[in-house]
Structure 1
Amino acid sequence: MLAMKALDSGFSVRRRMPALEKTAPSVCAVVLNWNRPDHTLECLDSLLPLIQKRQLALVVCDNASSDDSIDRIRAWAGRHFHLQTDSLARLLGDSEPSSEWDFLLVQTGANRGYSGGNNVGIRCALGREQCEFVWILNNDVLVHPHALDALLACAQQNSHVGVFGSTIVDYYRRDRVQMAGGCRYQPLTTLMNPVGGGRSLNEVLAGEADVPLDYIGGAALFCRAEMLRKVGLFDERFFLYYEETDLARRARARGYALRWCQQSLVYHKGGVSTGGRSSVNRKESWRSNYYENLSTLLYTRKHHPKLLPMAATLRFLGKSLVYLLRRRLRLFSALMTAYRDALTGRQTVVPTTLPEPTLLASGSVLRRLPGRKRVEPMDGACYSVPRPEERGRFRVAKRLLENLHR
């Protein structure tokens, strides 16, 4: 019996979990950061116990942050891993990183968006020996301690499923669900309906687990490596938004199913890096609105071309009405620019040339030697010293040796 207790909340839910095989599948998590180190480090702290138990490897990609993100993430890693760094950063394009790592820190070289930045990390994960699953996580999530166990149990029972989604819980209201695995999507109206959104967590967990999904929410995607190798990675034309919708559609076209893993809990803040609207972020950014509208049109053109004229018209009218009612007139320019760029085939705020990603650091989990206490000085080296009870035995042995030499 596995107890699923929500962090810092007053309720608990118990579910019977099938026993995992002794040899758990190899899982690699990918976390993308862009100018939000506080949220990223909180996410990494929630993953650390899984890494230390050797259930998980981790790739952190930074999308050319302009703040101190790299220094802070590297300092965090230095406290928890044996780090290896090159004097001149090694380009991933020249040679693949060794599979003997538990942690990678990669600089993507530019702001490649959600799809491009995560693709860099996914390629590193797929290059790891015996990687069976890639867990793509937003940097503004915290994972429940048993979230990964639940996902692995679901994966063992559902070999036909290519992408699993967790129960996404509101980080700030932990009795409320943002979505149960993913969403339903209406291609004509371009409206998304999060399954179970706004309902209580206890109600959602007590309900039916087998629900129809059109795509898995991008905050937490648990993908079979086999599926990614066959279907491909994120389509980088979707800089922000719709990349997970497109991936789900391509996966289903290749015969893979989507499934909600009911007992896997992930706590999501929402809108941290994208500037999108959330429960705590009522101000939507120009950039977020631009890419939301642009990606909607690109997705419709790619997968529902016959619906494009009607869908584009309905969306333009609907968005215009929303902006008027909410008095967000400044966002009209984002809407107009997105429609212009969708028609002309160009995108705003995207670099024309992208430098190669750079591997900044790789590391392995610090292991404590039997009977020894680990000492980690500021220079990042790791030494092992005798415990107090051992020092007494060493002094006795030293005196015996001295007596023998007299």
Structure 2
Amino acid sequence: MAEGERIKTLPLISLITINYNQAVVTCDMLESTRQLTYPNFEIIVVDNGSVENPTERIRQGNYPNATVVVSPDNLGFSGGNNLGVRYAKGDYLFFLNNDTIVMPDLLEKLVEPFLRDATIGVTCPKIRYHDQPNVIQYAGYRPLNPYTGRTWSIGLMEPDKGQHDQPGPTPFAHGAAMMVSRAVLERAGSLDDSFFLYYEELDWSARIRRAGFQIYYQAEALIYHRESMSVGKMNAMKVYYHVRNRLWFMRRNVAGWQLLVFYVYYFGVAIPKALIQYTIRWQPAYLKSVKDAIIWNLKHSSKQSVSVPSPMAMTA
């Protein structure tokens, strides 16, 4: 079989990434994709209303198979990725943060579990920190605590000594890097735009599992992540979406007495603790963020979603 024909028989992978005022960082990630050894993939860069349109910079980089989709508005993580989905032609969609660096065999490793098990709907690589390249950020997730609304990634901040090299099912995907089959989109839908930022991949993971799919941690795949490049380590927006979406996620995915216990914990312990800290440090913007996050939940039904504006697409 000729090489061109062999490539056509491989599943097409659509790599989707979001740029928001970080064209240099995005191009660093795109530069790393030149090393990818999987031959059949496309790249879709969604620009989330950046001050400077990155299309020309990306075009000058001459990145293979790259398309830039420009949104006039910041659609958030959920909306930006969903916009990319509209342009994706792939059998598998790989949602990848722009502040990552990929390893050459990444796509082969991530697609392999799908080809041997039809129940797998999502695969995620091992993630290490870019600035501490032997320290783990993600090696799968622990189950959700239904009383606190929290979960933690396995291996977080541990030196990688091979202790988490066993692949297998995991409760949640990591939003920085997750490959999703087209069948998942057809049966479970896509990311919910209402989250905008944070908790959206946990909500999607819960829906994907309810649709009958497994989420799979692929230990043989690896990326490096520059964490929190988009919104910084802590600011009022981050406080707002963490508070808002933790409550929003639990309202959508937990019911009955477990949700009641969560409410008691959240409003009796977690929120008062945060308010005391922000008051002692006198961070009025953070206090307002907490108030606004709670009011938002009071005003919105747990079934509500947010629409995505029409885009202007440009090809790099």
Report the TM-score range of the alignment, normalised by the length of the smaller protein: 0.7 to 0.9
- The answer to whether 1:166 aligns with 2:116 is no
- The answer to whether 1:245 aligns with 2:202 is yes
TM-score, normalization: structure 1? 0.68
After superposition, residues 311-330 of structure 1 pair within 5 angstroms as: 311-313=265-267, 314-320=269-275, 323=278, 330=285
CA separation in 2, counterparts of 1:311 and 1:214?
A: 23
> CA, structure 1 residues 119+335, in 2 after alignment: closer, same or farther (shift >3 Å)?
same
CA shift for structure 1 position 195 = 1.1
4+ long deviations beyond 4 Å: 321-330, 352-355
> CA, structure 1 residues 158+216, in 2 after alignment: closer, same or farther (shift >3 Å)?
same
**Quick one: percent identity of the two aligned structures?**
26
CA separation in 1, counterparts of 2:160 and 2:283?
A: 32
CA deviation vs aligned residue, 1:39-58 (integer Å, no higher than 9, x gap): 1111111113338x633111
CA separation in 2, counterparts of 1:355 and 1:158?
A: 36
CA separation in 1, counterparts of 2:245 and 2:71?
A: 22
CA separation in 2, counterparts of 1:176 and 1:240?
A: 25
More divergent stretch after superposition (67-76 vs 254-263): 67-76
- The answer to whether 1:196 aligns with 2:151 is no
After superposition, residues 59-78 of structure 1 pair within 5 angstroms as: 59-76=44-61
CA shift for structure 1 position 37 = 1.1
CA separation in 2, counterparts of 1:182 and 1:157?
A: 22
CA shift for structure 1 position 213 = 2.6
Q: Letter of the aligned partner of 1:339 in structure 2?
A: I
CA separation in 1, counterparts of 2:84 and 2:147?
A: 33
CA separation in 1, counterparts of 2:225 and 2:198?
A: 16
> CA, structure 1 residues 264+328, in 2 after alignment: closer, same or farther (shift >3 Å)?
farther
CA separation in 2, counterparts of 1:325 and 1:169?
A: 35
Q: Letter of the aligned partner of 1:35 in structure 2?
A: N
CA shift for structure 1 position 315 = 2.8
Which of the two has greater strand per residue? Answer: 1
Name structure 2 gaps, 5 residues minimum: 1-5
Q: 1:302 aligns with which of 246, 249, 252?
A: 252
CA deviation vs aligned residue, 1:183-215 (integer Å, no higher than 9, x gap): 532232122211111112223344x333x5321
- The answer to whether 1:123 aligns with 2:86 is yes
- The answer to whether 1:141 aligns with 2:100 is yes
Kindly indicate whether the alpha-carbon contact (under 8 Å) linking 2:167 and 2:220 is maintained by their aligned counterparts in 1: no
Name structure 1 gaps, 5 residues minimum: 1-19, 82-101, 278-283, 347-351, 363-406
CA shift for structure 1 position 326 = 7.3
Greater C-alpha radius of gyration:
1
> CA, structure 1 residues 105+246, in 2 after alignment: closer, same or farther (shift >3 Å)?
same
Q: 2:30 aligns with which of 26, 44, 48?
A: 44
CA shift for structure 1 position 134 = 0.4
> CA, structure 1 residues 120+74, in 2 after alignment: closer, same or farther (shift >3 Å)?
same
TM-score, normalization: structure 2? 0.87
What is the aligned residue count?
302
CA separation in 1, counterparts of 2:142 and 2:104?
A: 24
Which of the two has greater helix per residue? Answer: 2
Which residue of the partner structure matches residue 349 of structure 1? none
Q: 1:110 aligns with which of 67, 73, 76?
A: 73
Which residue of the partner structure matches residue 398 of structure 1? none
Q: Letter of the aligned partner of 2:252 in structure 1?
A: K
CA separation in 1, counterparts of 2:274 and 2:40?
A: 44
More divergent stretch after superposition (310-319 vs 219-228): 310-319
